[in-house]
Amino acid sequence: MDSDDEMVEEAVEGHLDDDGLPHGFCTVTYSSTDRFEGNFVHGEKNGRGKFFFFDGSTLEGYYVDDALQGQGVYTYEDGGVLQGTYVDGELNGPAQEYDTDGRLIFKGQYKDNIRHGVCWIYYPDGGSLVGEVNEDGEMTGEKIAYVYPDERTALYGKFIDGEMIEGKLATLMSTEEGRPHFELMPGNSVYHFDKSTSSCISTNALLPDPYESERVYVAESLISSAGEGLFSKVAVGPNTVMSFYNGVRITHQEVDSRDWALNGNTLSLDEETVIDVPEPYNHVSKYCASLGHKANHSFTPNCIYDILSVIYTLKMMMTMSRKMKIKEDYKRSFRPGNSTQGLFLVFCSVPEVNQPVFQEIFFSKIC
């Protein structure tokens, strides 16, 4: 974005009119070191042009009488993109934002450069946050929802700046012109943002995740002597989110200093934090708010872990990238995360075989 300094011209490359003003295609560098390349008519930007701001971001579009009008493209310094509608140089109207990989992360409206009306925020796992933003453009209100990756299951209720304060299970019935219609489901369960700590895995350890409950269950593993395993309730295709992984948050030093037998459910979240599901929470009778820790280990994994920030708690998520049969046992491999938000489990693509070979492995701590 442009700097706070006054936009004072310092250098002009290109044709000047009789009054010494830029005319035609010119490059103008300002005192802020921002630069504009485009067409001028007697000193005013008119026609297509592009700003190159001091922080590396850019803004491109069509200018009329020195102001950006119509469709404009703002590219952030990290490569993310905002495509929006401009009126007299300000965002007013429909807009979409994309991350550095080209994934849609926002869709909605702007008014006077602030998000306005019903807006959608999209997450890498396929989930989304939707609702009418407040006057500051924040997801704050009583009628906001987190929609799970199935684009159907939702938690609807009160949010403050995108954080769930109180939500109830709902179903996304339809969406018309960007406006969602939800139907609350029967039941009294209430969900809220519930970040684990070093001493508390959850304030409601026996409240199952509604999305996860429809897709997986815990039973005796098909791997001999492996104890319990995690199984699919439904047949699913590739890249499907199936389960989450949450735990208490401890340090790498604590993990390294104790007996390795205690580290069966530890996963590195970042350079400082490890997620652990210790006794007695490894028993579903004591903790079932997430079940990803029940997936066993194998040399032929069908899942991997990655980072995810879930709206009402911070968990790890399981996603599939190959077709999985009903009642198939989950097998997992690991890759390090790079965020302090949370973790999720992603199923990786492996060759289809009639009878997968399940073999327990021991893995090193992820650093």
Q: Kindly indicate the confidence band of residue 300, based on its pLDDT and cuts at 50, 70 and 90.
A: confident
pLDDT, tens digit (0-9, with 9 covering 90-100), for 93-104: 999 999 999 999
Statement to judge: residues 19 and 69 lie in one domain: yes
Rounded Cα–Cα distance for residues 136 and 162 (Å): 13
Its domain, for residue 185, covers 115-193
Statement to judge: residues 317 and 234 lie in one domain: yes
End of a domain among 77, 93, 112? 112
Statement to judge: residues 10 and 65 lie in one domain: yes
Range scoring the smallest mean pLDDT among 186-190, 199-203, 287-291, 353-357: 353-357
Residue 47 lies in a domain: yes
pTM, entire model: 0.83
Classified as helix, coil or strand, 127 is: coil
Statement to judge: residues 76 and 20 lie in one domain: yes
Using alpha carbons, select from 134, 212, 135 the residue that is nearest to residue 144: 134
Both tokens assigned to 9: 């011209």
The pLDDT of residue 210: 94
Q: What is the CATH number of the domain that holds 170?
A: 2.20.110.10
Statement to judge: residues 107 and 120 lie in one domain: no
Q: Tell me: pLDDT of 10 over 50.
A: yes
End of a domain among 112, 141, 157? 112
Range scoring the smallest mean pLDDT among 191-195, 202-206, 338-342: 338-342
Q: Does 280 sit behind a cis peptide bond, omega within 30 degrees of 0 on the bond before it?
A: yes
> For the chain, what is the largest distance between any 2 Cα atoms, rounded to a whole number of angstroms?
89
Statement to judge: residues 216 and 324 lie in one domain: yes
Rounded Cα–Cα distance for residues 345 and 335 (Å): 10
pLDDT, tens digit (0-9, with 9 covering 90-100), for 33-57: 999 999 999 999 999 999 999 999 9
Return the half-sphere exposure (C-beta side, CA atoms, 13 A cut-off) of residue 238.
7
Q: What angle do CA 211, 212, 218 make, to 5 degrees?
A: 155
Q: What is the CATH number of the domain that holds 305?
A: 2.170.270.10
Q: Tell me: pLDDT of 306 over 60.
A: yes
Q: Tell me: pLDDT of 313 over 80.
A: no
271 vs 141, which has greater pLDDT?
A: 141
The pLDDT of residue 269: 80
Residue 352 lies in a domain: no
The pLDDT of residue 330: 52
End of a domain among 311, 328, 345? 328
Using alpha carbons, select from 240, 234, 263 the residue that is nearest to residue 251: 263
pLDDT, tens digit (0-9, with 9 covering 90-100), for 174-197: 999 999 999 999 998 999 988 899
Statement to judge: residues 134 and 153 lie in one domain: yes
Q: Tell me: pLDDT of 363 over 90.
A: no
Q: Kindly indicate the confidence band of residue 357, based on its pLDDT and cuts at 50, 70 and 90.
A: very low
Residue 286 lies in a domain: yes
What distances in angstroms separate CA 304 from CA 104, 197, 350, 365, one per listed residue? 23, 24, 11, 15
Statement to judge: residues 168 and 60 lie in one domain: no
Residue 344 lies in a domain: no
The per-residue pLDDT of the chain, averaged, comes to 83
Statement to judge: residues 143 and 243 lie in one domain: no
Using alpha carbons, select from 221, 257, 268 the residue that is nearest to residue 366: 268
Residue 337 lies in a domain: no
pLDDT, tens digit (0-9, with 9 covering 90-100), for 124-168: 888 999 999 999 999 999 999 999 999 999 999 999 999 999 999
Residue 297 lies in a domain: yes
Q: Residues 67-91, buried b or exposed e (16+ Cβ, 10 A)?
A: ebeeebebbbeeebbbebbbeebbb
Where is mean pLDDT largest: 118-122, 226-230, 263-267, 355-359? 118-122
Statement to judge: residues 20 and 81 lie in one domain: yes
Statement to judge: residues 126 and 21 lie in one domain: no
Tell me what percent of the chain is helix, strand and coil, each rounded to the nearest 5: 5, 45, 50
Strand partners, 257: none
- 3-state SS, 65-121, equals CCEEEEEEEEECCCCCEEEEEEECCEEEEEEEEECCCCCEEEEEEEECCEEEEEEEE
Statement to judge: residues 132 and 86 lie in one domain: no
Neighbour count for residue 173 (Cβ, 10 Å) = 11
Rounded Cα–Cα distance for residues 247 and 257 (Å): 19
DSSP calls for 265-334: TEEE-SSSEEEE--TTTTSTTT--S--GGG-EE-SS-S-EEE----SSS--EEEEESS-B-TTPBPEE--
What average pLDDT score do residues 322-342 get? 43
Residue 367 lies in a domain: no
Rounded Cα–Cα distance for residues 48 and 65 (Å): 12
Strand partners, 48: 62
5 vs 175, which has greater pLDDT?
A: 175
Q: Tell me: pLDDT of 349 over 50.
A: no
Structure-token match 């019935």, residue found: 173
The pLDDT of residue 283: 96
Residue 359 lies in a domain: no
Total tally of structural domains belonging to the chain: 3
